[in-house]
Amino acid sequence: MQDIILLTGAGKGIGKAIALDFSRKAQKNPSFNPVLILSSRTYSDIVALAEECEALGAKAVPIEADIASLDDIDCLVGQTLQEFGTIDCLVNNAGVGRFKDIGDMTEEDFDYTMSVNMKGTFFLTQKVFPVMEQKRSGHIFFITSIAAEIAFKSSSVYSMSKFGQKGLVEALRLYGRECNVKITNVMPGAVYTPMWGEAANELKEVMMMPEDIAGPVVDAYLQPPRTSVEEIVLRPVGGDINS
Ligand SMILES: NC(=O)c1ccc[n+]([C@@H]2O[C@H](COP(=O)([O-])OP(=O)(O)OC[C@H]3O[C@@H](n4cnc5c(N)ncnc54)[C@H](OP(=O)(O)O)[C@@H]3O)[C@@H](O)[C@H]2O)c1
């Protein structure tokens, strides 16, 4: 049997690492057959990643979508359902951050962050959840952040969006428990990815790597049907990077 796994923000960073980890675990476990629907705005990223996943033996389909657009969300879910008939796992990973002092945040910074992290994540989840609810199985991951629990001065708007995602996770879990759908909140601290821009180079030594997040996510998906890993908190061993 195939597992249809829809992954947003798959082109880079943590999303890419999750896609590769699913592929590697499938290679080791012949009874696990993931079909990875790889989505992001940059088509060349997800085409290249699909080739890497297929080289590891997984089936992978790139679909370009901007989750800030409800039309793109409709197309992404519609195309997946048309081709594969169902969705077993949604990984809400796509996210953006603009990091600066609170007084420097513009309306555009605010709208951009909220349109992806809050609006996009909400409406994609709203579209996918009924598919799982109806068949009484499925698993939805939210890659929120440690910034969903602790605010940092440079991340006021980002933190608002991540606290908001946590609200969605907790509300959705109440629905999920009634229909056997697992909901997992993944809260990483600092991870070395393109999201950090040039700051990543200075901080690399004290950060986690994307694969450190991917492993626990995929392992949580592979738990027995009776068990739901509800939260995963991962931090650099030296604690949070407060910059
Ligand atoms: N890095 C960290 O330290 C850290 C820590 C905790 C949590 N997180 C969270 O983990 C998730 C992944 O972050 P990352 O560090 O891997 O970031 P990243 O390296 O910047 O990658 C983000 C991915 O999301 C895609 N994306 C961005 N906006 C999108 C949109 N509107 N529609 C569809 N795809 C979009 C990007 O591709 P395109 O630009 O091509 O669309 C890219 O593939 C985010 O939700 C982030 O908040 C990151």
User: 185 with 232: CB under 8 angstroms?
Assistant: yes
Q: Is 16 inside any structural domain?
A: yes
Query: What phi-psi label fits residue 196: left (phi over 0), alpha (psi between -120 and 50 degrees) or beta?
Result: alpha
What's the number of domains the chain is made of? 1
Taking CA atoms only, the protein residue closest to ligand 1 atom 44 is 95
Q: Is 69 inside any structural domain?
A: yes
Residues 6+ apart with CB under 8 A from 120: 8, 66, 67, 68, 73, 94
Q: Is 239 inside any structural domain?
A: no
Long-range contacts of 100-103 (CB under 8 A, 24+ apart): 100/154, 101/153, 101/154, 102/153, 102/156
By most ligand atoms within 8 Å of CB, the mutation choice from 6, 8, 20, 41 for ligand 1 is: 41
Please tell me the number of Cα atoms within 13 Å of 26 on its side-chain side: 24
Task: Give the distance (Å) from ligand 1 centre to CA of residue 180.
Answer: 28
Residues 6+ apart with CB under 8 A from 237: none
Identify any residues that bridge with 39 across adjacent strands, giving them in sequence order: 8, 63
User: 137 with 88: CB under 8 angstroms?
Assistant: yes
- CATH number of the domain to which 111 belongs: 3.40.50.720
Q: What is the dihedral of CA 80, 85, 88, 90, to 10 degrees?
A: 20
pLDDT in tens, 141-198: 999 999 999 999 999 999 999 999 999 999 999 999 999 999 999 999 999 999 999 8
SS3 207: coil
**Which residue from 127, 225, 216, 143 is spatially nearest to 181, judged by alpha carbons?**
225
Q: Which pLDDT does position 200 carry in this prediction?
A: 87
Q: Is 172 inside any structural domain?
A: yes
Task: Give the distance (Å) from ligand 1 centre to CA of residue 16.
Answer: 10
Q: Which two tokens stand for residue 102?
A: 């609170």
Q: Is 242 inside any structural domain?
A: no
pLDDT in tens, 186-241: 999 999 999 999 888 899 999 999 999 999 999 999 999 999 999 999 999 999 98
Q: Is 39 inside any structural domain?
A: yes
Range of the domain at 54: 2-234
Its pTM stands at: 0.98
Q: State how far the Cα of 55 lies from the Cα of 36, in Å rounded to an integer.
A: 13
Q: Is 109 inside any structural domain?
A: yes
User: 68 with 115: CB under 8 angstroms?
Assistant: yes
Q: State how far the Cα of 212 lies from the Cα of 66, in Å rounded to an integer.
A: 26
Q: Which two tokens stand for residue 157?
A: 């708007």
- Average pLDDT of the residues in 44-64: 97
Q: Is 240 inside any structural domain?
A: no
User: 51 with 80: CB under 8 angstroms?
Assistant: no
Task: Give the distance (Å) from ligand 1 centre to CA of residue 189.
Answer: 14
